[in-house]
Structure 1
Amino acid sequence: MAESARKALALDALTGLSVGDAVGNQAFPPHLRVRKAGNPPEVWSWTDDTQMACSLLDVLDRHGTVDQNALAKAFAERAETFRDYGKGALQFIDHVFHGGDWRAINAELFDGVGSWGNGGAMRVAPLGAYFHDDLGKAATEGAASAEITHAHPEGVAGAVAIAVAAAHVTAHRGRTVPDLLETVLEHTPRGAVHDGVRRAAGLLDRPAIEVAGEVGNGSRISAPDTVPFALWTIQTRLGDYEAAIRTSTLVGGDMDTMAAITGGVIAAHHGAGCVPRTWLDAREPLPAWFTA
């Protein structure tokens, strides 16, 4: 497939991700919202989810693969720290921006355990769309994109799960998507993320608030606490972007990240046209350095 065609598919996912991120960000109380200086109130600001996803897609566009050194540098140099970055991410950015090795700071975070947060998952849907024709490669590249900031295997597993989901739905664009959660489970390493997705797969007929109580709503900002509910929402509301985003914010927790993950995967399947036009118009423009 031509690189231009891959990028077009990834851009659809990025649109869905960024709008979901912006909508979810507005769901927080006003004093907690991330707002860029000079934006009028009607502009819906996005967070670090979108900022890092733009860097990831830019690196894919320039290298055709996840060049980890280039991506670490992009994360550090393009970060606008008011974008609601977590404590570990801010330490990473500062270390790498001042010339440090990303591998060293990554391994030292959280008392040497490494981050198992949801950051790898929140930004990876465009990558999955980009590598939609090879689920194994989507999983491998998704892992590589997460390893830069997440040394803990669960942080990587969360990114793998969402990359594979985005790849699988993109490959079935315009058609019924078979065995989504089973396909994700086949490629996701065993552990807490895998177990959570397995539990979510058994709750497809349950109300959202009950499912969130069982598998998490992202309030712990961890991949195991975020990815299972995001995939449950994608599976049960794949045909309706707006309903999926509203469900992502209904259960509280990490609403912008949950909506970013969900929106990115659903738009990868349907194309950017599934995003409500009024929402897209309200979303803050993507970074000036990012050339679509």
Structure 2
Amino acid sequence: MKDKLLLASKSLTGISIGDAFGESFFGDESLIKTFIQQRIIPENSLDFTDDTIMAIAVFKSLEKFGEINQGFLAGEFTRNYYLDINRGYGPSMHQYFRAVKSGENWKDVSYSKFEGQGSMGNGGAMRTAVIGAYFYDDLIQLKKMQNFPAKLLTPTKKRSKEQKPLLWLPRLRFRKNWE
């Protein structure tokens, strides 16, 4: 398991550096275009965003449980959010965390915010990289962990609480022969 955690931590390191570097290219569009055209790296503090914060929580879940534990992840996401709410969270996430802090069930809030669609942005891909590095040698488990939200979100008329997963991991398509 140490090798798996080492690979996941290296993935997390790369993610956080890429996140901070990419964040330096947000700003006044004309200025950023000039930087790009002149091959200038903007000077900034290289702060990482909410995407890295959430990827750290994914790593911690893998470290503690050897898999994605949704309850743990929801708690980590919420705790980390309140450590620094200005990391680039979108409006839906601010609403989500306020609702959870006020006592609403994270599963219900998650489903109501995202309607079972999961993360559609690059942040989901960043969190996926940590999982992929950890389960590099077990494609069955990788598929299970990556598709966890998608498997549980097939729309049904009756939806139990167990069918409402944490939705910040993207849904991936695997080749059919990867059972």
Q: Structure 1 length normalisation: TM-score?
A: 0.45
1:123 positional shift:
1.4
CA pair 81-149 structure 1, distance change in 2 beyond 3 A: farther
1:59 positional shift:
1.2
CA pair 86-16 structure 1, distance change in 2 beyond 3 A: same
1:187 positional shift:
7.9
Correspondence for 2:5 among 4, 7, 10: 7
1:1-292 paired onto structure 2 within 5 Å: 3-29=1-27, 42-79=44-81, 80-109=84-113, 112=115, 114-118=117-121, 119-144=123-148, 147-150=165-168, 156-157=170-171, 160=172, 184-186=174-176
3-state SS of the aligned residue for 1:18?
Answer: helix
3-state SS of the aligned residue for 2:147?
Answer: helix
3-state SS of the aligned residue for 1:109?
Answer: helix
Partners of 2:45 and 2:149 lie apart in 1 by 30
Partners of 2:116 and 2:167 lie apart in 1 by 12
Query: How many equivalent residue pairs?
Result: 148
> What stretches of structure 2 of length at least 5 have no aligned partner?
30-42, 151-164
- What residue number does 1:38 align with? none
CA deviations on 1:219-259 (whole Å, 9 max, x unpaired) are: xxxxxxxxxxxxxxxxxxxxxxxxxxxxxxxxxxxxxxxxx
Partners of 1:137 and 1:84 lie apart in 2 by 31
Residues 18 and 50, structure 1, Cα contact 8 Å, conserved in 2: yes
1:129 positional shift:
0.6
3-state SS of the aligned residue for 1:71?
Answer: helix
CA pair 114-92 structure 1, distance change in 2 beyond 3 A: farther
Partners of 1:75 and 1:138 lie apart in 2 by 21
Read off the aligned partner of 2:120 and give its amino acid letter: G
> What stretches of structure 1 of length at least 5 have no aligned partner?
32-40, 162-183, 189-292
Residues 118 and 170, structure 2, Cα contact 8 Å, conserved in 1: no
Percent identity, aligned pairs only, is 30
Residues 26 and 44, structure 1, Cα contact 8 Å, conserved in 2: yes
1:103 positional shift:
1.3
CA deviations on 1:180-226 (whole Å, 9 max, x unpaired) are: xxxx54489xxxxxxxxxxxxxxxxxxxxxxxxxxxxxxxxxxxxxx
Q: Which moved more, 1:16-25 or 1:83-92?
A: 83-92
What root-mean-square deviation, in Å, do the aligned CA atoms of Structure 1 and Structure 2 show? 2.6
